[in-house]
Amino acid sequence: MSATPATKALERAKVAFTTHTYEHDPKHESYGLEAAERLDLDPATVFKTLVADVDGKLTVAIVGVEHQLDLKALASACKAKKAQMADVKQAERTTGYVAGGISPLGQKKPLPTVIDETAELHDTIHVSGGRRGLEVELTPTDLAQLTNATFAPIAR
């Protein structure tokens, strides 16, 4: 398996992590739920990386795959007026990843990041490793430190 900017960032930071790979099915309707199913993981520990436009500033939101991002809660967590989902092409250009494989780690341009507080309920969580079919497992604390993230209730 070739390294991605996300796995390289983890190695550079000397953070303990585990990679999990699976054969991605392009017909699956949810990248995150597909990862949980294919890897036989508790879906509560699998988190998706979403990019939102918060008062004109791209922001990463990390929420469990069984939940949706609450845009009002994200705006509130960022002390902003309004949040909406970012344009997919803009998110891909800014992060350097393709949709469905956007990792919160190793992005071309680090973005402000908010992790749903439920991540803190788990010893480790799974996030995209930088491509479809690759998940990385690490502690929520390490993820927050590496992305300068805050924890907030942003899922519904």
Burial category of 67 from C-beta neighbours within 10 Å (exposed 0-12, middle 13-18, buried 19 and up): middle
Q: What is the pLDDT of residue 149?
A: 98
- CATH label of the domain that carries residue 41: 3.90.960.10
Residue-number span of the structural domain to which 22 is assigned: 5-152
Q: Over the stretch 4-60, which tens digit does the pLDDT of each residue have?
A: 999 999 999 999 999 999 988 877 777 788 888 889 999 999 999 999 999 999 999
Q: What is the CA radius of gyration of the chain?
A: 14
Determine phi and psi for 41, rounding to 5 degrees: -105, 155
Section 79-86 average pLDDT: 97
Are residues 143 and 120 in contact, defined by beta-carbon separation less than 8 angstroms?
Answer: no
What one-character DSSP code corresponds to residue 133? Answer: T
Section 64-90 average pLDDT: 97
Give the count of domains, the chain: 1
Query: pLDDT: is 75 or 31 the higher one?
Result: 75
Query: pLDDT: is 152 or 30 the higher one?
Result: 152
Q: Is the pLDDT of residue 1 over 70?
A: no
Q: What is the pLDDT of residue 41?
A: 92
Q: Over the stretch 98-147, which tens digit does the pLDDT of each residue have?
A: 988 999 999 999 999 999 999 999 999 999 999 989 999 999 999 999 99
Pairing of strands 113-116, 150-152: parallel
